[in-house]
């Protein structure tokens, strides 16, 4: 049995949903289908989820959201018309949306989750209606009735352990099950969403719960590439990689798969296959527990912008008991999370996403570090990019760091920071954002272009 998830671009129009139908019905093992909300049809288009967020914000501000709600309903209406569906499905979606918009707004975050979740929920109803129209035994599954229980954390819900036992019963149901992604229900019956792109998480949860043999994740690319194709021309496709490698690459900027999505599948040991809705014959990329390291030390290179580094220097820092705890407590009190903390005996750097800083917060933090920790030097460096070089093969390969450093030096890219993960599956370089593309190209040429030439 297979669980299949389709992303927003795969469901953006009637034509795309016809492709989804053909893919699902071509393989009788595809029993559970997880759907996202309709995505963009073209670059200037709006995702339905973005429209819903704007709609909820208007409502919370006490303003009229009629125009935005109309835009949402128009998207569903166009898809329904393209598929030749009966008008009643449009009425069902319209009633559902306006009922949500009229709900209690005393807790804005809970209200936002309720409205956001309608994107996936109503799209699942529409997709199920099309399958039924085509004469296939299929039905929409309500996550509440199925027992997808989650923690009451708006925008960051976590699946509860009892949900797996509840969802296992889906195996006993006949026909194809169309399941909305992105959200679940608390024990009190309220809607809470996973983090953005959480339909990947739903698919992984259902694969685990139903003990599927494979979790197929359909998107709009043929495979996971060794590097961002917007940074490097015609990069190499990755045929197979491990959960750990994919997790590292997703964290560092790969957007093919949500970086939390693999956890339930990983725990159950279920392989994940990334495939292309627009080219289903392409083999795609397989994500597994273990693989043969026959491709060299590096499997992929990822990068992401928007980081800053706060450097703290103090003589004899290593002798001062509790210094690190006191430093991180300051960040905690401002609600800031950090990414990395490379350190020496007399200095430490805190790497974090700079968009976390609110007005005046950065200046306050620097002042507190100076006065409360009596630091000799405190400075901040903005506009950093983090580049992650990932590969299970690095653990058995000597000189990978030296090759990477040499490649960056040859490209005249200054390394602001170096950090190697304790698992030895990844190493990270901090560079100025303006040097990101040049740095990624240099690393790709070092670890992939030379191999391809041979």
CA pair distance 298, 422, nearest whole angstrom: 16
412 belongs to an annotated ligand binding site: no
- Residue 183: CA count within 13 A, CB half-sphere: 29
Q: What is the largest CA-CA distance in the chain?
A: 75
6 belongs to an annotated ligand binding site: yes
- Asked if 208 and 270 count as a contact pair (C-beta separation under 8 A), the reply is yes
CA pair distance 376, 214, nearest whole angstrom: 55
7 belongs to an annotated ligand binding site: yes
Give the strand pairing for 272-276 and 285-288. Answer: antiparallel
220 belongs to an annotated ligand binding site: yes
Residue 442's nearest CA partner among 225, 223, 231 is 231
- Tokens 């229900």 correspond to 185
Phi-psi region of 176 (alpha: psi -120 to 50; beta: other; left: phi over 0): beta
- Asked if 16 and 10 count as a contact pair (C-beta separation under 8 A), the reply is yes
Determine the distance from the C-alpha atom of residue 446 to the mean position of all C-alpha atoms in its chain, rounded to a whole number: 28
The secondary structure element, H or E, covering residue 352 is strand 347-353
- Asked if 56 and 115 count as a contact pair (C-beta separation under 8 A), the reply is yes
219 belongs to an annotated ligand binding site: yes
- Asked if 68 and 51 count as a contact pair (C-beta separation under 8 A), the reply is yes
Residues forming a β-bridge with 343: 348
The three-state secondary structure class of 99 is helix
- Asked if 436 and 303 count as a contact pair (C-beta separation under 8 A), the reply is yes
165 belongs to an annotated ligand binding site: no
**110-144: b (≥16 Cβ within 10 Å) or e:** bbbbbbbbbbbbbbbbbbbbbbbeeeeebbbbebe
Q: DSSP string spanning 195-229?
A: STTTHHHHHHHHHHHTT-SEEEEEESSSSEESS-T
225 belongs to an annotated ligand binding site: yes
242 belongs to an annotated ligand binding site: no
CA pair distance 205, 272, nearest whole angstrom: 12
49 belongs to an annotated ligand binding site: yes
Annotated binding site for ATP: 5-8, 219-220, 225
Annotated binding site: 5-8, 49, 120, 219-220, 225
Annotated binding site for substrate: 49, 120
């Amino acid at each position: 049995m297979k669980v299949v998830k389709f992303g927003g671009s795969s469901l953006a129009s009637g034509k795309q949903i016809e492709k989804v139908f053909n893919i699902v019905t071509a393989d009788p093992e595809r029993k559970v289908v997880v759907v996202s909300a309709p995505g963009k049809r073209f670059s200037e288009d709006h995702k339905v989820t973005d429209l819903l967020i704007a709609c909820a914000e208007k409502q919370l501000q006490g303003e009229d959201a009629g125009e935005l709600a109309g835009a949402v309903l128009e998207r569903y209406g166009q898809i329904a018309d393209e598929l030749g569906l009966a008008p009643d499905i449009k009425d069902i979606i319209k009633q559902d949306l306006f009922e949500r918009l009229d709900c209690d707004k005393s807790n804005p975050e809970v209200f936002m989750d309720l409205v956001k979740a309608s994107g996936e929920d109503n799209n699942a109803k529409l997709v199920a209606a099309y399958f039924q129209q085509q004469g296939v035994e299929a039905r929409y599954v309500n996550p509440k009735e199925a027992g997808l229980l989650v923690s009451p954390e708006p925008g960051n819900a976590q699946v509860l352990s009892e949900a797996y036992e509840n969802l296992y019963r889906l195996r006993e149901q006949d026909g194809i099950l169309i399941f909305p992604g992105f959200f679940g229900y608390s024990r009190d019956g309220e809607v809470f969403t996973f983090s953005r792109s959480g339909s990947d998480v739903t698919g992984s949860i259902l694969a685990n719960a139903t003990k599927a043999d494979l979790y197929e994740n359909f998107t709009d690319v043929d495979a996971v590439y060794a590097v961002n194709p917007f940074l490097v021309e015609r990069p190499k496709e990755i045929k197979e990689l491990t959960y750990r490698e994919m997790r590292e690459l997703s964290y560092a900027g790969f957007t093919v798969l949500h970086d939390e999505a693999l956890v339930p599948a990983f725990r159950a040991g279920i392989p994940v296959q990334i495939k292309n809705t627009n080219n289903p014959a392409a083999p795609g990329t397989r994500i597994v527990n273990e693989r043969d390291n026959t491709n060299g030390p590096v499997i992929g290179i990822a990068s992401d912008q928007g980081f800053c580094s706060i450097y703290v220097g103090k003589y004899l820092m290593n002798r001062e008991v509790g210094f690190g705890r006191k430093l991180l407590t300051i960040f905690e009190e401002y609600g800031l999370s950090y990414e990395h903390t490379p350190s020496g005996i007399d200095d430490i750097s805190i790497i974090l996403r700079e968009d976390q800083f609110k007005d005046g917060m950065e200046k306050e933090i620097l002042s507190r570090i100076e006065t409360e920790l009596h630091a000799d030097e405190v400075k901040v460096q903005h506009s950093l990019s983090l580049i992650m070089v990932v590969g299970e093969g690095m653990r058995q390969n000597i000189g990978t760091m030296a090759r990477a450093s040499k490649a960056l030096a040859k490209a005249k890219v200054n390394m602001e920071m170096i950090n190697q993960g304790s698992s030895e599956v990844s190493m990270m370089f901090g560079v100025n954002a303006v040097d990101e593309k040049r740095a990624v190209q240099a690393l790709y040429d070092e670890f992939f272009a030379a191999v391809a030439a041979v």
